[in-house]
A and B are shown apart, each in its own frame.
Chain A
């Protein structure tokens, strides 16, 4: 598996861990009594945790690849195929993010509770990111 595929895997694992933690926290009552600011603060921390996880995991994977290939940690250069795959994955991600944002607005227009907007602000880009990672993994397999 190339370094870029590892990046996608790490992004997915990070998303699963953080969303899993948020869902667990919500299920045990973490969000039920919370107000807008409390929910938003928790989601901001979730984003920070995701970024930190991605950076640390990527550094560890680069060191691991460097040890296995005996080349030392190096940054893999992108070529035309990587650019093409990145563009197609970003297109899918953008479509998912925009669709979810539109659906969220629709839900709010039909009377969903306002707190829903805070969750939607978090969920739309997170699911867009997951789509990007899955798309890249698929495209690296099929061409």
Chain B
């Protein structure tokens, strides 16, 4: 979160596309955050809290691991 390169990738852009081109504003409304936060998460500039991550997954009706993936070293 703001320290070094983000190590969490996400598929939000793809999921939005498959959800009838859901806009960032619509996703933000569903999740309960601002559009700027959705933009930051989608671009990998901000790692959301677990709760917001789960809410994003629920907005697309998919499991959490289908939205976010940890790319860090083992």
Contacts and interface: CB of A to CB of B under 8 A. Distances in A.
Given A139-B2, A143-B2, A2 B36 contact: yes
Interface string B37-68: 10010000110110010000000000000000
Instruction: State the 3 A-B residue pairs at the shortest beta-carbon distance, nearest first.
Output: A143-B45, A79-B33, A81-B37
Interface of A: 2, 76-77, 79-82, 84, 88, 139-140, 142-143
A80 B33 CA distance: 8
A79 B1 contact: no
Contacts, number: 34
Interface range on chain B (Cβ under 8 Å from partner): 10 to 19
B15 interface: no
Contacts of A80: 33, 37, 48-49, 52
Does more than half of chain B's interface fall in helix, strand or loop, or is it mixed? loop
Interface of B: 1-2, 6, 32-34, 36-37, 40, 45-46, 48-49, 52
Most central of A77, A139, A140, A143 by chain B CB within 10 Å: A143
21 contacts: A2-B34, A2-B36, A77-B34, A79-B32, A79-B33, A79-B34, A80-B37, A80-B49, A81-B34, A81-B36, A81-B40, A81-B46, A82-B37, A84-B1, A88-B2, A140-B36, A142-B2, A142-B45, A143-B1, A143-B2, A143-B46
A143 B34 contact: no
Contacts of A84: 1
Nearest to A82: B34
Contacts of B34: 2, 76-77, 79, 81-82
A82 B46 CA distance: 11
